[in-house]
Structure 1
C-alpha cells in the first residue's frame, strides 16, 4: 500500500523572481519534500513541508565520507498552463542505479515520482513561463547517521527541492568554448563515474576553475587511464558530427548514462541520421578537423538541453567548429527537444508526463 504524503503548507509565500533575472539554481520555491530511512524500518514519513534548513548532526556520514546521490530534471509549463515533466521515470531509474553504487537503500521509483509530481503541483505557480525558462527539480539522498566510521549509513533522508531557472550557460544556444583537460580526470571504469554523486563534481572543480580563467565555459574530459579517449564535456554527454555521421562516446562504466543523451540518439535514428556509440580519441577529432570533416560538436544534458561547441582547445591546437556558429543538427535537436518539453512539438515517443 502506497504511503500517504503528509502536507504542511507554508504560512507565507516568497516573492517570485522576475523571469529576466533568473539564474540557475539560486532561488528556491516555497515547499520541499522529505522522507526518512532507518535500517530495519525502511523508508517512511513522506512529507511536503515549507522550504527550510536541515538539522543534521555534525558527525553525519554525508559530511565526512560523501555518501550521497542526486538527480536533475525539469518541469515545464505549456501555453495552455499545463505542467509537465520530461521522461522523469528515467531519472528515477538512474537515481536507483546511483543508490546501488553508493550503498544507499533503493527507493520505490513509482512512489518517488508521485512525490515529485505532488510537490511540483503544490508549487506549480513557480514554474516560469518565459522562453527558455523552467522549474529545475533536484531530488537527492543524504546519509544522516552520526558515525565517524567508513561504513554505509543506517539512516538517510530523501529530499526534493525546486528552483525556477533560466539558461544554464549565459550563451544559451550559442556555441561555447571548451578546453580539453589533459591533467585531471573525472572518473575511471570501476569508480563512481556512472553514479550522480557529489564527489564526482567536487573533483571536477579544479580543472573548471583553471580553464574559466582563460575564457572557456567548460572542460572536455578524457579517459582516466590513457588520457586519450573522450568521455564527457563538463556535466554533459558529448556528440560530434564527422563527415555526415554523428558519434558519441559509448557508455563504458565511467560515463554518465544521460537522459538527454538517450533522447538525442533516439531522435537522430528517427530522422535517419547516422549515429554511432563508440570510443573516440582526441586525435581522431583533431584529424577530422584538419581534413575539414568535423562538422559539428555539442553537449547534451538536462540543464542546458543542447549546448553547441564553437571552439575546442587541445594542447596547442585551437579547433574552430562550424565557423563558431550553431550547427544545423544541434539547432534541430534543441528546437525539437524543447518543443516536446513545452508542448509545441508532437510527443511521438510518449516522453511527457503531465502533472495534474
Structure 2
C-alpha cells in the first residue's frame, strides 16, 4: 500500500500540478510578445476616393512601387482603423512591413502617389503598429509561417516534452487512453459540450438581471476555417493536456479526486479572468464539467473532444447570430 504523502509532499505535488499550466501560459505569452514587439510589421494607411480609372492608376503605383514593395489598395479593409472623418465608401491605400523609421517616408510617398493618380484623399491618416500577417486569412498564410510555427509548435512542444518526461513518474494517463468503451466515452464528451453551452446560455440570460448589463461570456472572433481549427483542435489539445491530463492526476495524489477537479476548474477560470467576470464564470463551469469527465473516463482525448465540440459549436452559433 502506497504511504500517504506528508504535508510538504502534498504541497510539492500541488505546486507541480500547477507547473505545466503556468509553463504553457508563459511560453504562449512569450511567443506572442516576441511576435508583437520584434520585426518590421508596421503599416501606413491613407483613404481615398476617385473614379475607377484613378483608383486603378493608384493601385498600379502602390503595388508596383520600387522601394515599398508591400503595397495594397482595396475597399472595405482596415475598417477598425478608418478615422470617423473618412466616409465608409473610401478605399484604403497602404504600405506594410515597415520599420518605425520608415513610417513618415511611407506616408509622404503615399500622399504623392495619390496626387499623381488624381484621386481625392481623406485628410486623416493612420499608422497601424505591429500589423502582423493573419494566419487565418488564406492569402496571408505564406507571410505568417513564422507566426504559426511560434504560436503552435513552441507551446505544443513544451507541453508534450513535459508530459512525456514526467508521465511515467507521476502516473499520467496515455493521451488517447480510456478505461471505458469508445461509444460511451464519446457520448459523455458530447454531453459535456452540450452542458457547457447550456451553462453559457444560463449566464447570458441571468447576467443582465443580476448586473444590469449583457454578459458577453464568450468573446468570440468571426468564424473561419482557420479559427475553427485553432478553437476546436489546437486550444483544446493544449488546455486539456495541461489542466486535466496533468493537473488533476498530480493534484489528486495530494488532496483527493474531487478537490483536484475543483482546483482544475478554478485554475482554468483564473486564466480567463482577463475576459471579464462572466467569461471567468463560463470557464469555471466548463472546467468543472471537463474535470468531472476526466475523473469519469480518465481520458484526455475525451476532454479534448468535449472542449473542441464546445468551442466549435459556440463559433457556429455565434456566426448564425444565436450566441
TM-score range, shorter chain: under 0.3
**If each structure's strand is expressed as a fraction of its own residues, which one has the higher value?**
1
Q: Which structure would you say has the larger Rg? A: 2
**If each structure's helix is expressed as a fraction of its own residues, which one has the higher value?**
2
Highest relative contact order (Cα 8 Å, sep 6+), 1 or 2?
A: 2
- TM-score (norm. length: structure 1): 0.23
